[in-house]
Structures are given as structure tokens and as C-alpha cells.
Structure 1
């Protein structure tokens, strides 16, 4: 589970950097690397980044999912 969280976090960071470049310089790095926005590999990266963002929402809505210790139950 920790590996999946790291991989998805890296993909979300890549997506954020890509969107920053699009906003600042109108340059889509993913499209430039993989042959255009319509290229199959570029579309795959876009989908993986989107799914990674959804996966990274889970720790926000579920306490303890991010590897944080849970409080001990009261007796």
C-alpha cells in the first residue's frame, strides 16, 4: 500500500508540474514527451494522473489511511 501511495503521489506531482507549465508557458510536457495530446501514451499518463489524484483523496476522508497512528480507544 505504501508503494502505491508513493507512485500515485509522484504522478500527482507530475500532473501538477505539467499543469503549471501549461498555465505559465502554454507548454504541455506530457504531450511533448509522448507525441502529442492524442497519442495513446500521453492519454494513458493523463488517465493515470487523474486516477492517482482520486487515490490521494482517500487519506483526506479516511483517518488512518495515510499511515498516521490512530488514537487508542478509551476504556
Structure 2
């Protein structure tokens, strides 16, 4: 996800929360923070939230983010009846040396 899209999504969420406050409590948080609905900074925030909403519209048409798990569905192979033994026959690491470093000494004594 690009930086622009992350910023747009964050601003859209802020706008949605503000509209939720307006709908539930008749309280406009942006106007309260920045000096009223007609203040220049408030209008700038409203404009940025609106533009962010337009940018987030592109999520509906983007194949990469369309639906939950789209990347998982695209990357999985559909092999019916053919199990994947990709890691089944790999060599296992010898973890005994990691847990028992004295094994080397024991094997040296056996060789002698």
C-alpha cells in the first residue's frame, strides 16, 4: 500500500468518525478543534477528507485489494489430487549438536 493511500485511508477514517459524532451527538469535532465550520483550517480538513474519499474509491477497482484474502487466493495453486511434497523430502538439520555440544567429544572417543 502506497503512502498516499495510507494517508487517504487515515483521513477517510477521521472523516467517518467525525460524521459518526455528528450523527450521534450533534458534535462536529473538526469544527470544535479548528474554530467552526467556516474557519479556513476546518474547510481545509473537510476538503482533504473529501479528496481522501475519492482516492479510497480506487480500492473498489483495484485487483490487489479487492476483497479479503485476495492475495492469498491469487498465490495459491489449485492442484486437486496432487499433494505437494515440496518440503517433505528435505534434509532435517542435526539439532542434537545444538542441544548437546558434548556429542562431538563422545563421537571422537568412539572413533578412537
Structure 2 gaps, min length 5: 76-112
Q: Calculate the TM-score normalised by the size of structure 1.
A: 0.82
1:10, distance to aligned residue in structure 2 (A): 0.5
Structure 1 gaps, min length 5: none
Q: Could you report, residue by residue, the CA deviation over 1:11-33 in whole angstroms, capped at 9, with x for unpaired residues?
A: 00000000000000000000000
Equivalent residue number for residue 21 of structure 1: 21
Equivalent residue number for residue 59 of structure 1: 59
Deviating above 2 A after TM superposition, structure 1's stretches of 4 or more consecutive aligned residues are none
Structure having the higher Rg: 2
The answer to which structure has the higher helix fraction is 1
Q: Calculate the TM-score normalised by the size of structure 2.
A: 0.56
**SS at 1:46 equivalent:** helix
**RMSD (Å), alpha carbons:** 1.6
Rounded Cα–Cα distance in structure 2 between residues aligned with 1:58 and 1:5: 9
Equivalent residue number for residue 7 of structure 2: 7
